[in-house]
């Protein structure tokens, strides 16, 4: 087992790293379905149908397909998207994330770097009560497109803000498209969490984009830190 020595700062991705993003998607669909009840539409039936569309086609056009199938005015798509993005999500941390955070909290400087619409990500952060444990939470959308991963800017900001050396930093993420390449270039340690499901669980690009090591449970990383 790899040993991670001299780590002082641990920074995590958010979606599918600390909590299952599918939870957020389903929570958002439920909020959108509940909204439709003001038009006399059964929210339970609407949610079940939207979930079926999600599982069959992915989330890109769930609302369009649902409204089209039911001959409902497509102008409601934009309203439903707003409801989805602005709702207070019902989401929970992975069990291993709870264990991991409880073990490292107070012993390491902790941070989060997350892409995505700022309002959406901040609602997730609030629902998960992350500010209680993490010293710095960086939502790249709040800084501009140039900060979106795989940009080096958020990683540089973290080390400068916290006055830590990159060689003493660890980044944990799930997406090899963007999570590790900049961190590795800057001298960070990197670990990929792959629980065997999730959007990028079966994804591989090349060694350059991969983390130093892959684990299936965050507690494996904790054991490497000991």
What are the residue ranges spanned by the domains of the chain?
9-20+92-225, 22-86
**3-state SS class at 115:** coil
What pLDDT, in 10s, does the model give residues 44-99? 999 999 999 999 999 999 999 999 999 999 999 999 999 999 999 999 999 999 99
Q: What is the average per-residue pLDDT within 21-29?
A: 98
At the topology level of CATH, where does 22-86 sit?
DNA polymerase; domain 1 (1.10.150)
CATH classification of 9-20+92-225, choosing from 3.40.1280.10, 3.40.50.1000, 2.60.320.10, 3.40.50.1820?
A: 3.40.50.1000
- The whole-chain average pLDDT of the chain stands at 96
With 80 as the cut, is the pLDDT of residue 1 above it? no
Structure tokens at 27: 């929570």
Within this chain, domains 9-20+92-225 and 22-86 share the same CATH topology? no
């Amino acid at each position: 087992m790899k040993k991670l020595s001299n780590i002082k700062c641990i920074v995590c991705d958010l979606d599918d790293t600390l909590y299952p993003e599918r939870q957020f998607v389903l929570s958002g669909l439920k909020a959108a379905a509940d909204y439709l009840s003001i038009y006399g539409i059964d929210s339970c039936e609407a949610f079940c149908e939207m979930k079926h569309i999600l599982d069959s086609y992915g989330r890109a056009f769930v609302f369009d397909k649902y409204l089209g199938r039911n001959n409902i005015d497509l102008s409601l798509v934009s309203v439903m998207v707003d409801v989805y993005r602005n709702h207070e999500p019902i989401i929970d941390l992975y069990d291993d994330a709870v264990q991991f955070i409880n073990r490292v909290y107070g012993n390491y400087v902790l941070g989060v770097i997350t892409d995505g619409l700022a309002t959406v990500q901040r609602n997730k952060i609030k629902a998960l009560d992350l500010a209680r444990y993490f010293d710095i939470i960086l939502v790249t959308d709040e800084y501009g497109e140039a900060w979106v991963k795989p940009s080096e800017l958020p990683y540089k900001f973290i080390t400068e803000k916290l006055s830590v050396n990159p060689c003493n930093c660890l980044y944990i993420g799930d997406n090899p498209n963007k999570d590790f390449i900049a961190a590795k270039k800057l001298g960070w340690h990197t670990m990929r969490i792959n629980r065997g499901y999730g959007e990028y669980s079966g994804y591989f690009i090349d060694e350059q984009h991969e983390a130093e090591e892959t684990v299936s449970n965050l507690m494996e990383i904790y054991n490497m830190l000991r």
